[in-house]
Amino acid sequence: MHATSSTQAFVLALAATSLTAAAPAPTAAPANIGSYWGFWSPRPWSSPKASGINVQLGPRPYYLVDNMAPSALKTKLQSCSEGPFKTSGFSISHRGAPLQFPEHSRQGYEAAIRMGAGIIECDVSFTSDRELVCRHSNCDLHYTTDILSRPELAKKCSQPFRPANATSPATAKCCTSDITLKEFKSLCAEMEGNTFNAMNTSQYMGRIGGTPDWRTNLYAYTCAEPMSLKDQISLVNRYPQLGFTPEAKTPEIPMPFQGNYTQTDFIQQIIDTFRAANIAPSRVWLQSFLPDDIFYWIRTSPDFARQAIYLDERADNGTQGYADAVASLPGLAAKGVKIIAPSIWQLVRPDNATGSIVPSSYAIAAKKAGLEIITWSFDRSGPLYKGGGYYYTGVNDLIKRDGDEYVVMDVVARQVGASRIFCDWPAVATYYANCFGL
């Protein structure tokens, strides 16, 4: 998903509060939400029964419930405190478990699986030898790995490191396409840096900036392993009840790459990789922000395209962008798009008369067009006491506390009718899903 800067402050984390931004050297299915609430129910995912995973949620969901203002929803969530808890397809792992683990690392994926995520995301990019890897951006290695502390690899970066000074932040640009798969896999994944103030390449262990203080470096002390798409498929496929959601990341470099590797080659290679691994299309949710990618999959791979997700951020282009996005939804459905996935804020709005959060015109139009709705991304905003930032745009004045995350999640699930949600700490979504039988 698209990463947007948001409010940063203290958050109660599973393990510990982070100390500084610098890490040390690395050494089942949506079913019947209406059964409780009496509202619309999202389309179920018919998957094998979740078994073989001892789901553990840790304290964060309980903290959020305890932090809620008194309400019927809080009472309902409290009633589910002792479980049992199982894997749910409602809970999508966004980049692994990046609230506390380096994103798109083996360790992050395993944490997400343990927390009951039923679908695991790999943002897909490519290396210089045209191998597919899991990385949020084609060019994010300078703030998500230790590449700048590896001189032999740093010299291959598209733009070299320049330290921060009194007037300018630190800069660099290191892309997956700058290095080979072997070189990529030699890196250590680190927590995503967001304060680009490095004075040298060792200050933040190869990143140009440090970790937000409401995340943690606790699980970045050892070398978190970056993953190829093939690696990720092999890991997730240990559990046949789990699903995959690969996103074709829009390249930041000019295409065709190396003169003859086109966007079509790239997005076809993703499908070819799943076919070669004998993964059933019913377990795969392709994603892209580019409508042409979705339309290509509809034309050429209808078995996979049935669950292809059009990631929609057009509303970020202002009032007109939002209006254009809403107006386009029936046309997208007519062209074969089945699933639309806007960010959370596009699906909700304030009801000033009641002081509550309700479905937006976008959400209503998407349902009317017959589109399944998925949204992103919960637990990405940090502490919510200042309104929650980007993901809660439009309802910021109604967001007062961390527990309001469940208030918004509930509106998105039972009123908007979203069938699944992306979450940076999947335990939060898994708890809700199990409480309502999703």
Contacts of 216 (CB under 8 A, 6+ apart): 13, 15, 16, 17, 18, 100, 191
Q: How confident is the model at residue 52 (pLDDT cuts 50, 70, 90)?
A: confident
The helix/strand/coil state of 419 is: coil
Q: For position 1, what pLDDT does the model report?
A: 59
Q: The domain 59-133+224-436: what is its CATH number?
A: 3.20.20.190
The helix/strand/coil state of 352 is: coil
Q: For position 167, what pLDDT does the model report?
A: 95
84: left (phi over 0), alpha (psi -120 to 50) or beta: beta
Least-confidence region, from 43-47, 150-154, 305-309: 43-47
How are beta strands 117-126 and 132-134 bridged, if at all? antiparallel
Q: How far apart are CA 416 and CA 381, in angstroms?
A: 21
Q: Are 13 and 63 in contact (CB under 8 A)?
A: no
In percent, how much of the chain has pLDDT > 90? Answer: 88
Average pLDDT over residues 250-262: 98
Average pLDDT over residues 69-79: 99
Contacts of 83 (CB under 8 A, 6+ apart): 434
Average pLDDT over residues 60-64: 99
The helix/strand/coil state of 339 is: strand
The string of pLDDT tens digits covering residues 405-426 is: 999 999 999 999 999 999 999 9
The string of pLDDT tens digits covering residues 282-302 is: 999 999 999 999 999 999 999
The string of pLDDT tens digits covering residues 199-224 is: 999 999 999 999 999 999 999 989 99
Neighbours of 235 (CB within 10 A): 17
